[in-house]
Amino acid sequence: MKKVLPFLPCLFLACCATRTAPIPDMAMAARSGETYETLQRGHSLYLAHCTRCHESILPADVSKDDWHVVVPGMSWNAGISEAEEAALTAYIFAAKK
Ligand code: HEC
């Protein structure tokens, strides 16, 4: 008799109702003209800081113009450096594209 291994498809972050910020990949880097490293850094900053005080407000939820206004204030709220703010901004705009 053939042994059939149970196969559970791995639904990586695709399943749940939880809204998650897009994970950077090479395609996102190519689309945005940012380096993959910058986007990864911005993404981790986003995860580490931007859900502390309120629920995750996703890159797609806010218009580009509004993000330009909001990010400096929220970066100050989060206590991140200017360089970190630049990576975060790069990530947010790349994730919108
Ligand atoms: C120290 C707490 C705190 C942190 C950390 C924080 N926020 Fe906020 N955020 C707030 C508060 C309070 C509001 C609502 C009042 C306001 O608009 O200032 C808000 C509102 C917002 C809004 C809506 C703004 C509007 O005018 O509708 C966005 C978008 C946002 N935050 C994004 C972010 C991002 C991105 C980060 C990560 C850098 C972040 N927040 C980190 C406290 C925080």
Supply 37's token pair.
């490293």
Element (H, E) at 46: helix 36-49
21: Cβ below 6 Å to ligand 1? Answer: no
Tell me the pTM.
0.85
Q: Are the beta carbons of 42 and 92 closer than 8 angstroms?
A: yes
Residue 86 exposed, middle or buried by CB count within 10 Å (0-12, 13-18, 19+) = middle
58: Cβ below 6 Å to ligand 1? Answer: no
The protein residue whose alpha carbon is closest to atom 13 in ligand 1 is 54
9-64 pLDDT tens trace: 444 444 445 679 999 999 999 999 999 999 999 999 999 999 999 999 999 999 99
Region of 23 on the Ramachandran plot (φ > 0 left; ψ -120 to 50 alpha; else beta): beta
Mutate-to-test residue for ligand 1 from 53, 63, 82, highest number of ligand atoms within 8 A of CB: 53
